[in-house]
């Protein structure tokens, strides 16, 4: 079965600074990978996804993520963080064979200082 | 853009009572899901539903839980006899397909069992 690790529970950045949220997955074949964002009181919104092809994927709100098979990672990045980016970020992995049900990490809470 | 809607947004119930959480998935989606998130913990898969039957369920989804699609639009999660540990945010999601199709989430129902 697939699994996801988000090693950082909280990340604090200053507005305008760059951001990288880490995600490591465990799955034997090529996974489907997703990043979701959850603002307070809201559901999970898809930021971006990776299935195949170009390993650098662009998402909404200026986010991007890079799939690195050798490191089993799918880290989320943004060059300049805005105060409105403060939220909970979840990485998820789905299996390309067998169970397609996405497995979520525990999330990383992003705090943005002015 | 079509949305997944969930009602109520917050449900308070006493231990041992039955609760029904309601969801209206996106109309042309075929796969439906329930996830839950206990406060401070990761988003956990409960059950998936396709073609009017459960397609997959987790260990959490025991006999206390049931799902139903009583008509063409609603998708419900019933907890037969609630326990304190059922207190969580419950998310409904839907997707048009499996695997590479990302899930679309509702805003969740916060269930508080007292």
pLDDT tens sequence across B15-43:
999 999 999 999 989 999 999 999 888 89
B91 close contact with A: CB closer than 8 A: yes
Q: What parts of chain A have a pLDDT lower than 70?
A: 96-99
The rounded distance, in Å, linking the Cα atoms of B34 and B49 is 9
> Encoding tokens for residue B66?
């049931």
The chain-wide mean pLDDT, for chain B, equals 93
Interface contact flag, A104 B42, Cβ < 8 Å: yes
pLDDT for residue A30: 77
Interface contact flag, B99 A32, Cβ < 8 Å: yes
Chain A residues near residue B42 by CB distance under 8 angstroms: 90, 104-107
Mean pLDDT across the stretch B96-105?
86
């Amino acid at each position: 079965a697939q699994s996801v690790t988000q090693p950082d529970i909280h990340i604090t950045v200053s507005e305008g600074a760059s951001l990288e949220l880490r995600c490591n997955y465990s799955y034997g074949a090529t996974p489907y990978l997703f990043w979701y964002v959850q603002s307070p009181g809201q559901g999970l919104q898809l930021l971006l996804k990776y299935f195949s092809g170009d390993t650098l994927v662009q998402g909404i709100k200026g986010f991007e993520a890079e799939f690195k098979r050798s490191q089993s990672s799918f880290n989320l990045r943004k060059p300049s963080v805005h105060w409105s980016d403060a939220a909970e970020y979840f990485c998820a992995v789905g299996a390309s064979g067998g169970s397609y049900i996405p497995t979520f990490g525990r999330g990383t809470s992003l705090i943005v200082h002015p | 853009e079509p949305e997944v809607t969930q009602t109520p947004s917050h449900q308070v119930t006493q231990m041992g009572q039955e609760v029904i959480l309601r969801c209206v998935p996106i109309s042309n989606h075929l796969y439906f899901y329930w996830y839950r998130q206990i406060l401070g913990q990761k988003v956990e898969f409960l059950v998936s539903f396709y073609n009017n039957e459960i397609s997959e369920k987790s260990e959490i989804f025991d006999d206390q839980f049931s799902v139903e699609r009583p008509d063409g639009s609603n998708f419900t999660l019933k907890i037969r006899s609630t326990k304190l540990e059922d207190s969580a945010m419950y998310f409904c999601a839907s997707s048009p397909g499996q695997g590479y199709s990302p899930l679309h989430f509702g805003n969740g129902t916060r269930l508080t069992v007292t």
